[in-house]
Amino acid sequence: MLRLTRISKSFAGVRALDQVTLEARAGEVHALMGENGAGKSTLMKILSGLIVPDEGAISIDGEELMMTDPRDAQRRGIAMIHQELSPVPDRTVAENIFLGKEPCYPGTGFVNRGAERRAARALLERLHIDIDVRTRMRDLSLARQQLVEIAKAVSYDPRIIIMDEPTSALAVREAEHLFALIRELATRGAIIIYISHKMDEVFRLADTITVLRDGRTIDSRPARDFTADTLITAMVGRELAARYPKEEILPGRVSLEVSGTGVHFVAREGEILGFAGLMGAGRTELVESLFGLRPFDGGEIRIDGARVLIRKPVDAIGAGMALLTEDRKLQGLNLKGTVKTNTSLASLAGYCYAGGWLRPRMEDQAVDHMLQYTRVKTTGRHQPVSGLSGGNQQKVLLARWLLTGPRILLLDEPTRGVDVGAKAEIYALIGELVRQRKTVIVLSSELPELLGICDRILVMRGGRITASFDRADFSQEAILSAAMNE
């Protein structure tokens, strides 16, 4: 029996967890549900020893644990399978599984590779995973790497296994395999803590569901006591309409026309156009092509009816486009820079004398004005951007793009990893932009978000646009079925 009692944790004064309590019995699959920013990840990081809570207690079978290090958790039989994998790509499956606990010839530091292979093979066999242990990790698909990662966790013979969105990279058949594995582990007496956004999975697998919202435990009951509706209400806590205030703005004339293989669409001034689809449906690739980050083979882009040739991002910016990228840290921020240098990066040419000499006062004024407009909470423009919260970092990136004076904004997952308050501010900002007759294209994997803010939703699957819905015809089921292969 695992018990987390009144766990609280604050980061830089912001309360991430507030007296959270969770109980899980041996042999059960315990789903942890909640929106992004609800505190799931923080809670699981505490359970796996990565973060020390401010207050509260963790106990297993009545024995209280003090964990200050992931190794403490490992010793206590707690294993975590992360959303992002961490394999050593050029080593074999067997070597990855036994990383850090290689079987050695007695008394020497030499690895007994034969024993390692045999043990790995036995482990995979026991888990019914059909992978040659001599394969290099690099040569496996993401899904199969995931299975190896799970086998690695199981090799510690853990009592508690935490899985954070384990199916996000898996195809349906591979996910089935994973579910069978999870069931089996539970039958053998392990506690599985399962984090997922996918309702159907949770209802199939979970014995118990705990819902977190804004860092608090909202509900914790047997899964059969929930319906999809009550679960959503528990997670969201308020009606959709209240979360996504939408002003009626009549879209105007066509500003953007795109035609390429399988993708033909137009977007209008004052319109919020959504793109829905599963992971890997090609949405990010599409906007990256529009923005000159990858070739748009055979594609044609027209802005205000005139054909534009975009071969690199600077062309797109010149044509009045802006792209808020999906991954804030990878493609967006210079985490070594300040709020100011990050904000002005895309529009620096506007604050220069001839020859490229900067005009510091002009730049500072523009940056300060835009930071205020996008309501970035910062101690000043010289603050390192790494010190801002996710929501404020996202607003810095929005400020960066707004300074380029774009007419067409491509927003890829604009609220990913952003807390509830900042989300509302970003929606308000998007509303303000369409009121100024800008065109906003939003890509999101959160369907409720698209349903809430968009005028129209296009659905992508396999790199093609497969359906289009006007706001009057929005339906979660229809959009989902268009996104999946049916």
Partner 1 sequence: MKTTPNHLFQRYGIYGVLVLLVIVLAIVSPVFLTGANIINILRQVAVNGIIAVGMTLVIITGGIDLSSGSLLALSAVVATSLAHPGGHGAGLAVAAGIGVGLAMGTVNGVLIARQRLPPFIVTLGMMTAARGLALVYTSGRPVIDLSEGYDRIGGGYLLGIPVPVIVFAGVAVLGGALLHGTRFGRYVYAIGGNELAARVSGVGTRGILIRVYALSGALAGLAGIVLSSRVMSGSPSTGVGYELDAIAAVVIGGTALSGGTGRIAGTIAGALIIGVMNNGLDLLNVSSYWQQVAKGVIIILALLLDKTSSREK
With respect to partner 1, which residue has the nearer C-beta, 29 or 321?
Answer: 321
Closest contact distance (angstroms) between CB of 305 and partner 1 is 24
Number of Cβ atoms within 10 Å of the Cβ of 6: 14
Please check whether residue 131 is in contact with residue 144, taking contact to mean a CB–CB distance below 8 angstroms: yes
Q: How many CB atoms lie within 10 A of CB 318?
A: 12
- Least distance CB 388 / partner 1 (angstroms): 13
Chain-centre distance of CA 85, in angstroms? 14
182-to-154, 176, 191, 204, 468 alpha-carbon distances in Å: 11, 10, 10, 11, 37
Least CB distance from residue 395 to partner 1, whole Å?
A: 16
CB of 417 to partner 1, least distance (A): 16
Q: Which of 286, 261, 279 is nearest to 410 (CA)?
A: 286
d(CA 307, CA 374): 32
**Which residue, 25 or 312, is less far from partner 1 as judged by CB?**
312
* Least separation in angstroms between CB 389 and partner 1: 15
Q: Output the smallest distance, CB 97 to partner 1, in A.
A: 31
Q: Which of 148, 169, 166, 157 is nearest to 93 (CA)?
A: 148
DSSP 156-212: T--SEEEEESTTTT--HHHHHHHHHHHHHHHHTT-EEEEE-S-HHHHHHH-SEEEEE
Sign of the CA dihedral 85, 91, 94, 97?
negative
Nearer to partner 1, 309 or 330 (CB): 330
Q: Taking the complex as a whole, how short is the minimal distance between the CB of residue 432 and partner 1, in angstroms?
A: 22
Token reading at 106 = 């007695």
Which residue, 322 or 422, is less far from partner 1 as judged by CB?
322
Q: Cβ of residue 178: shortest distance to partner 1, in angstroms?
A: 32
Name which of 77 and 350 has its Cβ closer to partner 1: 350
Main-chain dihedrals φ then ψ at residue 414, nearest 5 degrees: -65, -20
Closer CB to partner 1, residue 210 or residue 392?
392
Residue 295 C-beta: closest distance to partner 1, Å: 15
Give 147 or 418: the residue with its C-beta nearer to partner 1.
418
Backbone angles phi, psi at 216, to 5 degrees: -120, 155
Alpha-carbon torsion 200, 203, 205, 206, what sign?
Answer: positive
- E strand spans, 127-225: 160-164, 191-195, 208-213, 216-222
Residues in the chain: 486
d(CA 166, CA 144): 12
Site for partner 1, rule CB under 8 A:
291, 293, 312-314, 316-317, 323, 325, 330-337, 341, 344-346, 348-349, 352, 355-358, 379, 383-384, 400, 404
Cα–Cα distance, 226 to 236 (Å, whole number): 14
CB closer to partner 1 out of 135 and 331: 331
> Given the complex with partner 1, which of 127 and 323 has the nearer CB atom?
323
